[in-house]
């Protein structure tokens, strides 16, 4: 039997076992809006309201919101894990026939790592990721240090989470481990959306239709959800292509590489390398500028000879790393202008679907992870009452931050690729005087907590 307490203002508290239900009850005695909270043992929002006997009447259970996430990439799965943990009924729909992630490594700052640790994924991160000791920027030809800063354990001391380098496939598997596999529907390519007022219907190419109270488009730079909301628009080639590969650590052991992230900057390009996969592999990516390109695909192969030619004349360490790889892939960089809005009614976007960005701040995946955390926090706080309003709130919170990072990433493309000369010399002198890569210099970025929704 539930015990009901009245504070004299029509606000009732119903207690049933260890559950506490608070809400406004109209004078007629019928419950109008109860917000369940777990007793003080946990502050996590609970959105499924169990039946409560109130004044001799049964208040029927209110089912949790049904949320469909389109796309099982890093951002989509982070959102799914966070929403599922908050008590929502979440389903993920992915067009690929299996849950895989192509590509190489990710440099992940503490702003994103903190989210994943809070979602209970720390064991996987500690097992698979590498904690780089430092970040080191160097000159392309002679290897001279331009700036250097510690990363770990300094990041954890300052921000409560480490800086990590991790293979994309490892990271996807870690995040997926936090979500029930039976709720991930593979082989579902979205072909249409239909607004049905109080819900959204999604139609897939296999003939399946799914209805949801909220739909989240996390389906990448070529998002079908984005196209359905805002119209078709081709992404724009950014003028850069990347040669990327993985090298077994034992092949370059004689180089004595530090367990850190190194980037080499030079005329028209830059080269980055760091360890991933428990330190067993060295990930590298070398950016060069091109005038035209017609594909945006992580799986296009390039020859080792072509990659070496692209970095002809660069430091011998760079060329040794490239030559040690078994295979090499080439990837063209595309992006879009910032969107005027991300949400329409009960549909919203996250990650590359709404804010693709150059990787020159190391924040593309991190911002998709932050999106998922903030979306879940907003919906857990007040999403049941007015989902469309809550999605607009999520967008208001996220857009200024990701827009700033898009702008900084574009500026870094120019800064990293300066031809040798007066502008390059001024940049090098500025970095030597006041480096911009240290955890302290990036406080605005790293201390940000995407799981907290500020009060209005």
Domain boundary residue, one of 59, 74, 92: 59
Does residue 302 lie in a domain region?
A: yes
Domain assignment of residue 64, yes or no: no
Strand-strand pairing, 209-212 and 281-289: unpaired
Q: State pTM to two decimals.
A: 0.85
Q: Running DSSP on this structure, what letter comes out for residue 49?
A: B
Q: What pLDDT is recorded for position 310?
A: 94
> Does one domain contain both 156 and 241?
yes
Do 53 and 126 lie in one domain? The reply is: no
Tokens 């076992």 locate to 17
Residues facing residue 273 across a β-bridge: 262, 284
Residue 274 annotated in active site: yes
Task: Quote the DSSP letter at residue 97.
Answer: S
Mean pLDDT per 10-residue segment, the chain (456 residues): 40 41 34 33 34 32 85 97 97 93 88 98 98 97 96 97 97 97 97 93 97 97 95 88 96 96 97 98 95 61 91 98 95 87 96 95 96 96 87 96 95 96 96 92 97 85
**Dist. CA 449–CA 454, nearest whole Å:** 10
17 & 158 share domain = no
- Domain span at residue 440 reads 120-165+236-335+418-449
The SS3 assignment for 110 reads helix
What CATH number is attached to the domain comprising 252?
3.30.9.30
275 located within any domain: yes
148 within some domain: yes
- For residues 445 and 302, state if they share a domain: yes
Domain check: are 242 and 325 in the same one?
Answer: yes
One domain for residues 129 and 38: no
Q: Is 211 within the bounds of a domain?
A: no
pLDDT at 200: 97
Asked if residue 23 and residue 129 are part of one domain, the reply reads no
Please indicate, yes or no, if residue 399 is contained in any of the structural domains. Answer: no
The rounded distance, in Å, linking the Cα atoms of 177 and 99 is: 11
Q: Verify that 139 and 49 share a domain, yes or no.
A: no
Within-domain flag for 456: no
Within a domain: 299: yes
Together in a domain, 138 and 52:
no
Whole-Å CA distances, 225 to 228, 287, 320, 360 = 5, 30, 43, 26
Together in a domain, 126 and 54: no
pLDDT of residue 290: 85
| Edge-to-edge strand list for the sheet holding 33-38 | 3-6, 11-16, 19-24, 33-38
Last residue of a domain, one of 12, 28, 59: 59
| C-beta separation of 289 from 296 below 8 A | no
Number of domains in the chain: 2
From the candidates 21, 93, 243, 274, give the one annotated as an active-site residue: 274
| pLDDT at position 116 | 98
């Amino acid at each position: 039997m539930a015990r009901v307490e009245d504070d004299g203002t029509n606000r009732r508290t119903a207690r049933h076992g260890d559950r506490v239900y608070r809400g406004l009850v109209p004078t007629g005695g019928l419950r109008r809006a109860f917000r369940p909270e777990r007793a003080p043992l946990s502050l996590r929002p609970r959105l499924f309201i169990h039946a409560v006997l109130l004044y001799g009447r049964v208040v029927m259970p209110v089912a949790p919101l049904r949320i469909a996430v389109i796309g099982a990439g890093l951002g989509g799965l982070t959102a799914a894990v966070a929403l599922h943990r908050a008590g929502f009924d979440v389903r993920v729909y992915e067009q690929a026939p299996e849950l895989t992630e192509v590509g190489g490594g990710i440099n992940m700052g503490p702003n994103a790592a903190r989210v994943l640790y809070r979602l209970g994924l720390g064991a996987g991160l500690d097992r698979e990721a590498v904690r780089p000791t430092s970040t080191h920027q160097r000159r392309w030809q002679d290897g001279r240090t331009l700036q250097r800063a510690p990363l770990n354990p300094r990041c954890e001391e300052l921000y409560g989470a480490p800086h990590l380098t991790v293979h994309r496939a490892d990271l996807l598997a870690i995040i997926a481990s936090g979500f029930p596999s039976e709720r991930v529907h593979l082989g579902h390519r979205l072909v249409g959306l239909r607004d049905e007022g109080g819900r959204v219907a999604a139609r897939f190419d296999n003939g399946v239709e799914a209805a949801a109270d909220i739909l989240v488009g996390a389906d990448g730079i070529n998002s079908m959800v984005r196209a359905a909301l805002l119209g078709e628009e081709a992404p724009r080639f950014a003028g850069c292509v990347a040669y990327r590969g993985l090298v077994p650590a034992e092949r370059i052991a004689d180089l004595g590489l530090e367990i850190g992230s190194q980037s080499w900057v030079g005329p028209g390009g830059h080269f980055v390398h760091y360890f991933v996969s428990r330190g067993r592999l060295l990930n590298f990516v070398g950016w060069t500028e091109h005038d035209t390109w017609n594909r945006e695909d992580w799986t296009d192969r390039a020859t080792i000879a072509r990659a070496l030619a692209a970095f002809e004349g660069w430091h011998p360490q760079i060329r040794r790393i490239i030559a040690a790889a078994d295979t090499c892939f080439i990837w063209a960089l595309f992006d879009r202008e910032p969107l005027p809005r991300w949400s329409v009614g009960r549909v919203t976007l996250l990650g590359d679907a709404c804010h693709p960005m150059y990787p020159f701040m190391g924040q593309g995946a991190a911002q998709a992870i932050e999106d998922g955390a903030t979306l879940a926090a907003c919906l857990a706080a007040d999403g049941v009452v007015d989902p469309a309003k809550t999605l607009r709130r999520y967008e208001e919170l996220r857009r200024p931050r990701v827009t700033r990072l898009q702008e900084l990433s574009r500026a870094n493309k120019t800064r990293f690729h300066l031809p040798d000369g007066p502008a390059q010399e001024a940049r090098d002198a500025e970095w030597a005087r006041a480096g911009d890569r240290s955890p302290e210099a990036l406080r605005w970025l790293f201390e940000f907590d995407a799981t907290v929704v500020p009060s209005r």
